[in-house]
Amino acid sequence: MISSQFGYALISKPMFSKTFLRNFMVAIKRCDKDMDKDNPKFTLSDLKEMFEIQKQYTLEESPIKDPLFIFQSWYRDAADSVGVLNPSIMCLATSSKTGIPSLRYMFCESFDTKGFRFFTYNTTRKGQDLKTNPYASLCFYWAPLLRSVRVEGPVNVLPSSESDELFNRRAYDMQVNIHCSTQSDRIQSFDVLNERELIVRNKFDPSKVPRPENFCWYNVSPIIYDFWQLRQKKERIRFRKSKPDEKIDGLTRKGEKDWLYEFIEP
């Protein structure tokens, strides 16, 4: 495991050879493939060395200009940091049809080349917001690392079959819990939840709990990543998807795939 407590300062920085960069790009592609396995805590032992090298560079100097790879590398640092209890906690912002924003903390269940996934009830405020305004902003903050990442993009609900599959993978207790709450309705007292739990446990066999129809998985497809850090150096880099025929001036640069990036005053 790479420990973030070792610090990132490096006195001398090696130059990149073309072979190194080529191998690095091959490794990133492999990493994309691995991430498709829907697991944010991926085990990418073959990339460990690459991550070590990536750590030696500030955002500005890094040869990596693929935002997902940078996110993955920062996520891994956060997961390895003793001070970060759960790196997957993010703040999710949605907005109503009339533009009223709301925020809440959420677990990011997984992320990969397709986007960032979370689960919730479509009947909640965020669920209602996303029905009429399917666009969200996510913000991760890993305090001990002095790093934050904002991700923005359109949101879609995963097909029922995929939500069913993900629900089936959940532990029985969590499935029961999901059945016991609407996360929205008013109740007389919290004892109501205990009564409901007994009913749900009696009703469903542990191996056959159906997904409540209003409980869904959502995917945010990033079109903007905004990385901010005070760690090695105060830095901020914004990646955004290029628009068709967009003219690029000296302050916007071409990243990997169809990403553009800009250094922003932090």
The residue ranges that bind ligand FMN (CB under 6 A) are 89, 102, 104-107, 118-120, 124-126, 183
Residue 4 DSSP symbol = G
Question: Residue 193: which residues within 8 A CB-CB, separation 6 or more?
Answer: 180, 181, 187
Alpha-carbon distance of 148 to 140, in angstroms, equals 5
Alpha-carbon distance of 35 to 39, in angstroms, equals 7
Q: How far is the CB of 249 from ligand FMN (least distance, A)?
A: 40
Report the DSSP beta bridge partners of residue 91.
Answer: 105, 139
Q: How far is the CB of 84 from ligand FMN (least distance, A)?
A: 13
Look up residue 96 and give its two tokens. Answer: 């109503």
Question: Residue 44: which residues within 8 A CB-CB, separation 6 or more?
Answer: 31, 34, 51, 76
The CA-based diameter of the chain, rounded to the nearest angstrom, is 67
Q: Considering beta carbons, is residue 75 or 118 the nearer one to ligand FMN? A: 118
Question: Residue 48: which residues within 8 A CB-CB, separation 6 or more?
Answer: 2
Q: How far is the CB of 57 from ligand FMN (least distance, A)?
A: 31
Q: Considering beta carbons, is residue 106 or 260 the nearer one to ligand FMN? A: 106
Q: How far is the CB of 117 from ligand FMN (least distance, A)?
A: 10
Q: Considering beta carbons, is residue 106 or 224 the nearer one to ligand FMN? A: 106
Q: Considering beta carbons, is residue 89 or 157 the nearer one to ligand FMN? A: 89
Q: How far is the CB of 257 from ligand FMN (least distance, A)?
A: 29
Q: Considering beta carbons, is residue 62 or 122 the nearer one to ligand FMN? A: 122
Alpha-carbon distance of 101 to 88, in angstroms, equals 22
Alpha-carbon distance of 30 to 203, in angstroms, equals 45
Q: How far is the CB of 120 from ligand FMN (least distance, A)?
A: 3
Question: Phi and psi for 96 in degrees, rounded to 5?
Answer: -75, 175
Q: Considering beta carbons, is residue 27 or 89 the nearer one to ligand FMN? A: 89
